[in-house]
């Protein structure tokens, strides 16, 4: 009898024990809350709408990785391989394994070789297959496995020679003429990508909170989310970019009550709130210290949720002030995004709670209604004061995105600290049959913290969180200073004909490019150290280096004195394929073509640093 069945039977036979188990779960849950609130207090990051919404259990990174039940599904269905050699080779070998050894499941491992003696690619799974076969009573040597598999491979123009070598490796030699043709094709028609079945995708990213300025933690989400959206758009997907801003919840009660006191004429005149963050702090202070104010703040929440006109207007005003700030940043970073904040889901939250209530799956827990999704920590669906939480809005949002938007993929680009929150939301959504993970890709794309050069959480000297505006300003200032120094030092033709306007455009592009590249070129899962000095360095893996390399290549092209038309007519009049005579030429051609495999890999992993083929495993 397995453990689970054993405990289920035991529980059904001993109701007292069942009660104890439930109590135990509740206790664990309580301890979790206490631990979190202590952590929050020590941390006082004050950044997420988790606290703002009054959710008692801000989700933190789970200790151990929860096994995702979609880890083996490949969601991108390839329609045409194009130049994705690796993907194509994996596919033909997998088919051959299936046909040759019926019922045996073994992934086809194929790698690039590093010695041209062994061809360009190498299939490595013959040993594993031989072992598997022998465990099932069939003795076949790895070499024979390899020989059998190669018999079933289709003839491809791309492959010149297939060779079984050593103890059972299969070496694949690419056809140079074909590689030459493909390079010529790129020169004629531009970079071509593999074709993948079109999907409707929602990317939830950036998502700052109203009344709090965007800070460096939102920077990563904005940069990574935008890049992932660009990748999907490049693949021809139907992409909806959503800004799930924190614009709803109990914090608005105190903000509105404070607005009424500070700017009584707010209905006729836009209140001049210059610093919304300070305004937030003031109202929070009053909320904590003045009981009368607190009571009025609660009344404002109730009125807001029942759409009282004056209160809704006050709410809109507060949102507008924040929005201006966000938009300024998006403009600077060239980010397109559609705002659809938590408030959008209000009526859907009401319906959802009703639905869950009717299904009888909500548990009463000291005045609140919670939902267990099979994990230790439950979702808080209704708070003891009747309000909803971050959990409720995310559960309503996932439902809306799947059923109303009919999205195939849902991608949430949110810091890794919220991993547990998303694990529970997704588990609940699966339990409620909102989606089947075999068909739909629902994924939390987490990322690590931004650290200062002292390897501690990135903060100002006085210990405050760094405002994004200040950070961008600083980047621009430094890029400008660096380029100004070069301008003086070189006084070369690079700068000679540059107007002030062009110069400004250039240093801003360098600054924003460097900030974005520094983030994207790291594995997003790790924390990363934010260092202006490193990101603006013209050596190493930086945007400046790439920009220089690009400028240098353009200059070589200019100096070569061959026009594009001349090259095109050369290609047209070629007898046979584009020549790749030198081994370095062949190597470079293969590297250029590898871009297609990189893109497919990134589409699967959503690890943007792999776009740089050197990082692709
Ligand atoms: N506003 C949240 C925060 O600042 C992020 C929201 C992310 N998206 C979501 N669907 N929960 O932490």
- Residue ranges of domains in the chain, CATH in brackets: 5-69+341-447 (no CATH), 84-187 (3.30.1360.70), 250-335 (no CATH), 468-615 (no CATH)
The interaxial angle of helices 176-189 and 583-593, nearest 10 deg, is 60
Q: 269 pLDDT band (50/70/90 cuts)?
A: confident
Tokens for 452, please give them: 């200062």
Backbone φ and ψ for 364, nearest 5 degrees, come out as -80, 135
User: Is the pLDDT assigned to residue 517 strictly greater than 60?
Assistant: yes
CB of 392 shorter than 6 A to ligand 1: no
Q: Output the pLDDT for position 498.
A: 83
Weakest mean pLDDT among 17-31, 94-108, 479-493, 542-556 = 17-31
Q: Output the pLDDT for position 5.
A: 45
User: Is the pLDDT assigned to residue 214 strictly greater than 90?
Assistant: no
Pick from 244, 249, 424 the residue to mutate for probing ligand 1's pocket: most ligand atoms within 8 Å of its CB.
244
Calculate how far, in angstroms, residue 243's C-alpha sits from the geometric centre of ligand 1: 9
CB of 325 shorter than 6 A to ligand 1: no
Q: Output the pLDDT for position 372.
A: 96
Name residue 531's beta-bridge partners.
none
Q: Which residue has the higher pLDDT, 466 or 356?
A: 356
Q: pTM score, two decimals?
A: 0.86
CA atoms of 364 and 384, how far apart (whole Å): 10
* pLDDT, tens digit, 9 for 90 and up, residues 84-115: 999 999 999 999 999 999 888 889 999 999 89
Average pLDDT, the chain: 87
Mean pLDDT in residue range 514-523: 95
Q: Output the pLDDT for position 486.
A: 83
The label of the residue with tokens 């090259």 reads: 567
Q: 557 pLDDT band (50/70/90 cuts)?
A: very high
The label of the residue with tokens 């994996």 reads: 90
Q: Output the pLDDT for position 60.
A: 37
Mean pLDDT in residue range 199-225: 92
User: Is the pLDDT assigned to residue 49 strictly greater than 50?
Assistant: no
Element (H, E) at 43: helix 15-43
The interaxial angle of helices 216-234 and 468-490, nearest 10 deg, is 80
Pick from 55, 348, 414 the residue to mutate for probing ligand 1's pocket: most ligand atoms within 8 Å of its CB.
414
Calculate how far, in angstroms, residue 420's C-alpha sits from the geometric centre of ligand 1: 13
Name residue 379's beta-bridge partners.
371
Q: 425 pLDDT band (50/70/90 cuts)?
A: very high
CB of 246 shorter than 6 A to ligand 1: yes
Atom 6 (ligand 1): residue with closest C-alpha? 207
Atom 4 (ligand 1): residue with closest C-alpha? 48
Calculate how far, in angstroms, residue 80's C-alpha sits from the geometric centre of ligand 1: 36
Task: Say which residues have a Cβ less than 8 Å from residue 368's Cβ, sequence separation at least 6.
Answer: 56, 380, 381, 382, 383, 384
The CA-based angle 270-275-276, given to 5 degrees, is: 75
The share of the chain scoring above pLDDT 70, in percent, equals: 86
Q: Output the pLDDT for position 507.
A: 94
Q: 212 pLDDT band (50/70/90 cuts)?
A: confident
Name residue 203's beta-bridge partners.
241, 411
Which ligand 1 atom sits closest to the C-alpha of 50? 12
Q: Output the pLDDT for position 32.
A: 65
Q: In this structure, which long-range contacts are made by residues 378-382, counting pairs with CB atoms below 8 Å and at least 24 apart in sequence?
A: 378/29, 378/424, 379/424, 379/425, 379/428, 380/55, 380/56, 380/57, 381/352, 381/353, 381/356, 382/353
Atom 5 (ligand 1): residue with closest C-alpha? 207
Q: Output the pLDDT for position 25.
A: 63
CB of 421 shorter than 6 A to ligand 1: no
Q: 36 pLDDT band (50/70/90 cuts)?
A: low
CA atoms of 145 and 126, how far apart (whole Å): 6
Q: Output the pLDDT for position 26.
A: 62
Atom 3 (ligand 1): residue with closest C-alpha? 48
Alpha-carbon distance values, 273 to 192, 276, 317, 548 (Å) = 51, 6, 10, 44
Q: 491 pLDDT band (50/70/90 cuts)?
A: low
CB of 391 shorter than 6 A to ligand 1: no
Calculate how far, in angstroms, residue 531's C-alpha sits from the geometric centre of ligand 1: 26
């Amino acid at each position: 009898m397995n453990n689970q069945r054993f405990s289920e039977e035991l529980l059904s036979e001993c109701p007292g024990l069942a009660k104890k188990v439930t109590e135990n779960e509740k206790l664990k849950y309580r301890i979790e809350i206490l631990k979190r609130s202590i952590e929050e207090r020590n941390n006082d990051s004050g950044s997420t709408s988790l606290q703002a919404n009054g959710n008692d259990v801000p989700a933190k990174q789970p200790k151990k990785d929860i096994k995702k039940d979609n880890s083996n599904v490949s969601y991108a269905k390839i329609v045409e391989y194009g130049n994705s050699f690796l993907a194509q080779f994996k596919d033909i070998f997998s088919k051959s394994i299936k046909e040759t050894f019926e019922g045996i499941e073994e992934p086809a491992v194929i790698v690039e070789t590093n010695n041209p003696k062994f061809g360009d690619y190498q299939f490595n799974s013959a040993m594993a297959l031989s072992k598997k076969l022998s465990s099932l009573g069939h003795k076949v040597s790895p070499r024979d496995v390899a020989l059998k598999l190669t018999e079933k491979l289709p003839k491809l123009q791309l492959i010149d020679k297939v060779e079984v070598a050593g103890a059972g490796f299969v070496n694949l030699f690419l056809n140079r003429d074909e590689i030459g043709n493909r390079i010529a094709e790129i020169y004629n028609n531009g970079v071509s990508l593999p074709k993948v079945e079109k999907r409707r995708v929602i990317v939830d990213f950036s998502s700052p909170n109203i009344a709090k300025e965007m800070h460096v933690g939102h920077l990563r989400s904005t940069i990574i989310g935008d890049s992932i959206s660009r990748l999907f758009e490049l693949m021809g997907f139907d992409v909806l970019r959503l800004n799930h801003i924190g614009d709803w919840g109990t914090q608005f009660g105190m903000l509105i009550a404070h607005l009424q006191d500070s700017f009584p004429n707010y209905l006729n005149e836009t209140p001049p709130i210059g610093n919304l963050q300070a305004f937030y702090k003031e109202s929070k202070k009053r909320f904590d210290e003045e009981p009368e104010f607190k009571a009025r703040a609660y009344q404002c929440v109730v009125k807001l949720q029942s759409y009282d006109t004056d209160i809704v207007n006050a709410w809109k005003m507060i949102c507008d002030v924040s929005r201006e700030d966000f938009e300024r940043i998006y403009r600077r970073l060239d980010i397109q995004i559609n705002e659809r904040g938590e408030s959008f889901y209000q009526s859907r939250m009401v319906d959802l709670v009703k639905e869950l209530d009717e299904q009888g799956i909500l548990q009463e827990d000291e005045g609140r209604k919670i939902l267990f999704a099979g994990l230790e920590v439950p979702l808080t669906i209704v708070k003891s004061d009747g309000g909803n939480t971050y959990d409720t809005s995310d559960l309503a949002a996932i439902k809306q995105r799947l059923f109303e938007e009919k999205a195939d993929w849902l991608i949430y680009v949110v810091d890794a600290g919220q991993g547990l929150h998303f694990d529970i939301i997704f588990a609940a959504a699966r339990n409620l049959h909102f989606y089947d993970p075999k068909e739909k890709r629902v994924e939390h794309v987490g990322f690590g913290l931004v650290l200062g050069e002292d390897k501690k959480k990135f903060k100002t000297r006085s210990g405050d969180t760094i405002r994004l505006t200040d950070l961008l300003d600083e980047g621009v200032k430094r890029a400008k200073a660096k380029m100004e120094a070069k301008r003086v030092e070189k006084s070369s033709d690079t700068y000679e004909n540059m107007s002030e306007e062009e110069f400004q455009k250039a240093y801003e592009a360098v600054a924003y490019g460097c900030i974005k590249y520094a983030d994207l070129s790291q594995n997003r899962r790790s924390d990363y150290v934010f260092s202006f000095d490193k990101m603006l360095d013209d050596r190493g893996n930086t945007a400046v280096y790439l920009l220089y390399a690009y400028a240098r290549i353009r200059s070589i092209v200019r100096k070569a004195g061959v026009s594009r038309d001349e090259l095109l007519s050369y290609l047209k009049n070629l007898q046979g394929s584009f020549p790749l005579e030198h081994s370095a030429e062949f190597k470079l051609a293969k590297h250029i073509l590898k871009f297609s495999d990189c893109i497919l890999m990134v589409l699967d992993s959503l690890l943007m640093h792999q776009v740089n083929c050197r990082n692709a495993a």
